[in-house]
Structures are given as structure tokens and as C-alpha cells.
Amino acid sequence: MRVLIAPDCYGDSLTAVEAAQSIAAGWRQARPDDDLVLAPQSDGGPGFVGVLAGRLGEVRHTRVSGPLDDEVDADWVDDRATSTAYIECAQACGLALLPGPPTPDTAVAAHSRGVGQLIAAALEAGAETIVVGLGGSSCTDGGRGMIEALGGLAEAKAALAGVDLIAATDVEHPLLGPMGAARVFGPQKGADAHVVDILEQRMTAWAAELDALAGHTVSPLPGAGAAGGLGAALLALGARRESGAAVIAEHTGLAADIVAADAIVTGEGRFDDQSLHGKVVSALAGGARARGIPVIVLAGQVTLGPAELAEAGITAAHAIADYAGSVQVAIDDAAAQLTGLARQTAASTRE
């Protein structure tokens, strides 16, 4: 049996590449004769650059400001053949770069200046197309830090004039309001109710400046709320939005791999309702459904019921937390626990 192993990252526990390797290791223990194809994926969030590294261009390293001003080493891909740079915002302002768990203080203070510095490095390298993967950020600054790092609103727009700027994200949330960046994602970044209000007010004022820069209203656009509002700033600078999962799928040859597969194993940190709206798992299920290819999800946690799985075209979903006995063990020992879950799943799989 030919098994396509195509997971996303598992939060801060495993990169997509590490997850694919762990699943493959467990699967081989139970079914050594299966033909395994490893194709780690990303929706634009953490792991976006890691998945592309080695497949195209050269990996570059740039020292930039982290989310709280301490400098960090950020990787990005410089594809000279197409004059395209691939940047991952989580490399500069990701939650994993905070010194500890997010707090109300870090939710207010975190910024996106490092993303602007990465864009500047790409421009200096001669990039004519810049793809910015959005997701996993610790900041909710609406991209203000990014624009300040590029010299300000007018200067940023001038610097990017003539550049094909792409916001790679599968998040459809607007910038403001009950479904916006602060209210939906702020609590995940340490914001309490008071801080959520502060972030919303701060970005409401900033949105007016972005609208003026763009010459039209950007805050309600799908994806404007991605990565703490970085999406809105990129859209105001003239970016077009593309699916992060689709960008990765194109460069990893995912469509051909799906057609050739007898079964697909994928996964992510938390498999919930958001997973079914344009993320990696839903993209795989959509491609597999028409061909009757079973799709198995191995996730850190699973919150969807049988009816929701069936409707989405998912054959089965198993949680590492259930296998490990607790969420904490699933996080602390993610690689080994995922390997064990994959072995158990493979052992119960029939062709």
C-alpha cells in the first residue's frame, strides 16, 4: 500500500518535517512493506519555510528583532531562479520566540518589526516576488511594526512598488470585530478581556491609516486578521492573498502524490472546526474525496465528532493526548507519542 504522510506542524511541539518522520517511523514498525511518501505541509504558519527549504532556492539567515526586541536568527528562502523570497512571520514574531508562556503583558508588547526586516532583506537580495507566510504570531499590532521597520507607511509602499507581494494564509478572519484578530486570537496570545479591548481599540485607529494608504477599506477583507493583523498591513501595501496550503502544495507536488496514494495520513496540533476551513487537513480531504482515498488524521487533540468527520471526508481521527494519557505528556514527549500512535493506527489499518 502506498501511504502519503502529509502533516502540518504540531504547534510548538513538532515541525511538519519532524511530524512526518515520526509518523513514518511508527507506521513502518507495524507495516514495513508499505511504500511511504513523506510530504510535510504548511498553511503559512510555523514550518512554512522549513517545508520549502531544500525544495527550492537557498536558505538564508537574517538577524532580526524578535517579538519583544531581543534579536533572533530568522530563516527565509531565496529562490534566485524565480527572483522569489519566501518569508515566515513566525520566524520573527512567533509565539515560540517568547521567553515563556504568553501573558497579557506580552500580548500588548509583542510586535512585527522583524517581519519588516525580513522583507527588507529580501528586497536587498533582489526579490521581485515576496511570499509572506502568516500564522503562529505572538503579536496583535496590525502589522504596524512591520511597516515601521520599512520606514513608515509611504516609504513601505514605495519600497514595495512593482513587487509581487503575496500574503500566504488560510485564515479568513477580518481585522476587527467579534471575528477579528484581537477577539478571536488575542486570548491564544495571552490577552485577557481587558487587553483584548486595548488591542481592538489600537487596531481600530491603525486600520484607518491602512485604509488611507490602500485607498480602500482593508479591515473587512478575508485574511486581514491573519497573524495578528499582519494580513491587513500586507493587503494595504498591495498584497494579494493566496492559500498558504496551496502554495506549499504546489511546490511539494501534492496533487500528484494524492492521485498516487492508497491512503493519506495527516495531522496537526489541534484538529477542530477551524481545521475544516482551508487548512492543510481540509485541502487533503478535498483532494482525496473524489478518488475515494481514505484520510486518517493523527492530531494532538481532536474535538470533532463522527458526523463532522464524515462530512469533511475524514475516515478516522485519533488524538495523541488520548494515546499518551494526557495532554501534557503528548506535548512533552510529542515525537515518541506520535510514533506510537502511528504504529497503533497502522496495525489496525486494512487495505
Q: Does one domain contain both 169 and 76?
A: yes
Q: Does one domain contain both 93 and 203?
A: yes
* Cα 133 to Cα 226: distance, rounded to the nearest angstrom: 10
In this prediction, residue 307 carries a pLDDT of 87
DSSP string for residues in 167-206: EE------SSSTTSIIIIIGGGGT--HHHHHHHHHHHHHH
Q: The CATH number of the domain where 182 resides is what? A: 3.90.1510.10
Instruction: Return the number of other C-beta atoms located less than 10 Å from residue 296's C-beta.
Output: 21
Q: Does one domain contain both 168 and 299?
A: no
Q: Is residue 150 part of a domain?
A: yes
Assess contact for 118 and 86: CB atoms under 8 A.
no
3 state DSSP class of 155: helix
Q: Does one domain contain both 78 and 155?
A: yes
Q: How confident is the model at residue 304 (pLDDT cuts 50, 70, 90)?
A: confident
Name the residue among 247, 326, 329 with its Cα closest to residue 283.
Answer: 247
In this prediction, residue 78 carries a pLDDT of 97
Q: Does one domain contain both 134 and 192?
A: yes
Number of structural domains, the chain?
Answer: 2
Interior CA angle at 187 toward 336 and 269, to 5°? Answer: 20
Q: Is residue 247 part of a domain?
A: no
Q: Does one domain contain both 153 and 133?
A: yes
* Cα 241 to Cα 218: distance, rounded to the nearest angstrom: 12
Q: Is residue 283 part of a domain?
A: yes
Show the cell assigned to 132: 509572506
Q: Does one domain contain both 278 and 317?
A: yes
* Cα 138 to Cα 104: distance, rounded to the nearest angstrom: 11
Residue that is written with C-alpha cell 502533516 in the block? 7
Q: Does one domain contain both 96 and 220?
A: yes
Name the residue among 196, 182, 274, 277 with its Cα closest to residue 232.
Answer: 182
Q: Does one domain contain both 232 and 92?
A: yes
Q: Is residue 25 part of a domain?
A: yes
In this prediction, residue 251 carries a pLDDT of 86
| High-pLDDT (> 70) share of the chain, % | 99
Q: Does one domain contain both 82 and 155?
A: yes
Lowest-confidence region among 1-5, 12-16, 239-243, 294-298: 12-16
Strands 129-133 and 263-266: unpaired
Strands 295-299 and 316-319: parallel
Q: The CATH number of the domain where 319 resides is what? A: 3.40.50.10350
Pick the last residue of a domain from 242, 275, 305.
Answer: 242
Does 244 or 147 have the greater pLDDT score?
A: 147
Distances (CA, A) of 339 to 94, 214, 262, 327: 26, 48, 21, 16
Show the cell assigned to 57: 532556492
Residues of the domain holding 276: 2-41+253-347
Mean pLDDT of the chain: 94
Q: Is residue 96 part of a domain?
A: yes
Residue 277 pLDDT > 70, yes or no? no
User: Which tens digit of pLDDT belongs to each residue from 119-155?
Assistant: 999 999 999 999 999 999 999 999 999 999 999 999 9
Output phi, psi for 326, to 5 deg.
-165, 155
In this prediction, residue 343 carries a pLDDT of 97
Q: Does one domain contain both 12 and 154?
A: no
Q: Does one domain contain both 37 and 52?
A: no
Q: Is residue 248 part of a domain?
A: no
User: Residue 38 CA to chain centroid, in angstroms?
Assistant: 19
Pick the last residue of a domain from 195, 218, 242.
Answer: 242
Q: Is the dihedral of CA 304, 30, 4, 89 positive or negative?
A: positive
Instruction: DSSP letter for 89, please.
Output: T
Does 71 or 250 have the greater pLDDT score?
A: 71
